Structure 1
Amino acid sequence: MTLPEPSTVAAALHERLLRPVRRDLRPFLHETVERGDPVSHVVLALLAGLVAFAVTTLAAALVVVPAALYAVVYGFVAATLRLVNAFRYRR
């Protein structure tokens, strides 16, 4: 059994978690307000941008944290396997 590389896992997490969120919330992150717009429109645009930013940040954290934990586990497992193989196949 071989474990996938941490970069492969991070790319898969990014593709499944962060990319759809960013794609769906992009209009709210780049909304513009023009001079003469009512105050309610400005407030709603600001709130929509803040909520979209918060959700995007949460999705990014849901990618970064598991990827970092996997990298630590991968390093531990790989080092353990190298150590076991070093003792098993002595020269």
Structure 2
Amino acid sequence: MDATTIITAATAISVGIILAAAGMGSAIGWGLICSKALEGISRQPEMRPQLMFNMFIFAGLMESFPFIVMAFALWFLFANPFLG
């Protein structure tokens, strides 16, 4: 096998690992955000509107993380800087 094939295969495997880690991180983040918001609402029910608003803001930020990671992963996959 030549170097180009090895680099392309390693990049494909790395992209898969990167996307899996981004998805798992986002799922864990969603779980933590929602659980802490529910915990705060159960402690102070009168703060529900403010806590829900903050929860949705932070959830939107957490949702953007996998898309940013996906952009970098696709850059490595299709415009591979390691191939000379």
TM-score bracket for the superposition, by shorter chain length: 0.5 to 0.7
For these two proteins, the number of residue pairs brought into alignment is: 71
Structure showing greater Rg: 1
Any unmatched runs of 5+ in structure 1? 78-91
Partner in structure 1 of residue 74 of structure 2: 68
CA contact (8 A) 2:26 2:63 kept: no
Cα pair distance change 1:56/1:73, threshold 3 Å: same
Compute the displacement of 1:53 (Å): 1.3
Post-superposition, which runs of at least 4 consecutive aligned residues in structure 1 deviate over 4 A?
none
Compute the displacement of 1:60 (Å): 0.9
The letter for the 2-side match of 1:73 is: A
Q: Using the alignment, how far apart are the partners of 2:33 and 2:12 within structure 1?
A: 32
Q: TM-score, normalised by structure 1?
A: 0.51
Q: TM-score, normalised by structure 2?
A: 0.54
* 2:28 counterpart of 1:23: yes
Cα pair distance change 1:23/1:14, threshold 3 Å: same
Q: CA-to-partner distance for each residue in 1:60-88, whole Å, 9 max, x for gaps?
A: 122110111122124xx5xxxxxxxxxxx
Cα pair distance change 1:70/1:13, threshold 3 Å: same
